[in-house]
Amino acid sequence: MLLENKKALITGSSRGIGLGITKRYLEEGCEVWGLCTKDSPAKAETEAFAKEHGVAYHEIHANVAEVENLKLVIKDALKEAGGFDILVNNAGITRDGLSFRMKLEDWNSVLSINLTSAFIISQIISGDMIRKRAGSIINMASIVGLHGQGGQVNYAASKGGLIAYTKSLAKETGARGVRVNAIAPGFIETEMTAAVNEEAQKAWLETIPAKRAGKVEDVANTCVFLGSDLSTYITAQVIGVDGGMGA
pLDDT digits 0-9 by tens, 201-222? 788 888 899 999 999 999 999 9
Q: CA-based angle 172:176:182, to the nearest 5?
A: 55
pLDDT digits 0-9 by tens, 55-82? 999 999 999 999 999 999 999 999 999 9
Give the domain range for residue 200. 7-235
Are the beta carbons of 6 and 55 closer than 8 angstroms?
no
Give me the pLDDT at residue 201, please.
Answer: 79
Q: Considering the domain boundaries, does residue 99 fall inside one?
A: yes
Per-residue pLDDT, averaged over 9-24, amounts to 96
CATH, residue 218: 3.40.50.720
Q: Is residue 200 predicted with pLDDT exceeding 80?
A: no
Question: Is residue 95 very low, low, confident or very high in pLDDT (cuts 50, 70, 90)?
Answer: very high
Which of 4-8, 40-44, 165-169, 194-198 is predicted least confidently? 194-198
Q: Considering the domain boundaries, does residue 218 fall inside one?
A: yes
Q: Considering the domain boundaries, does residue 190 fall inside one?
A: yes
Q: Which amino acid is at 118?
A: A
| DSSP one-letter code for 128 | H
Is 233 an annotated catalytic residue?
no
Are the beta carbons of 165 and 118 closer than 8 angstroms?
yes
Q: Considering the domain boundaries, does residue 246 fall inside one?
A: no
Residues 169 and 237: their CA atoms lie apart, in Å, by 11
Q: Is residue 191 predicted with pLDDT exceeding 80?
A: no
What is residue 220's three-state secondary structure? helix
Q: What are phi and psi of 11, to 5 degrees?
A: -95, 155
pLDDT digits 0-9 by tens, 123-145? 999 999 999 999 999 999 999 99
CA end-to-end distance (rounded Å), the chain: 32
Q: Considering the domain boundaries, does residue 169 fall inside one?
A: yes
Domains in the chain, number? 1
Report the half-sphere exposure of 53 (CA within 13 A, side-chain side): 23
Q: Name the residue among 159, 141, 245, 145 with its Cα closest to residue 203.
A: 245
| DSSP one-letter code for 38 | S
Per-residue pLDDT, averaged over 102-111, amounts to 97
Residues 120 and 35: their CA atoms lie apart, in Å, by 14
Query: Which residue is catalytic, options 25, 155, 165, 233?
Result: 155
Q: Considering the domain boundaries, does residue 244 fall inside one?
A: no
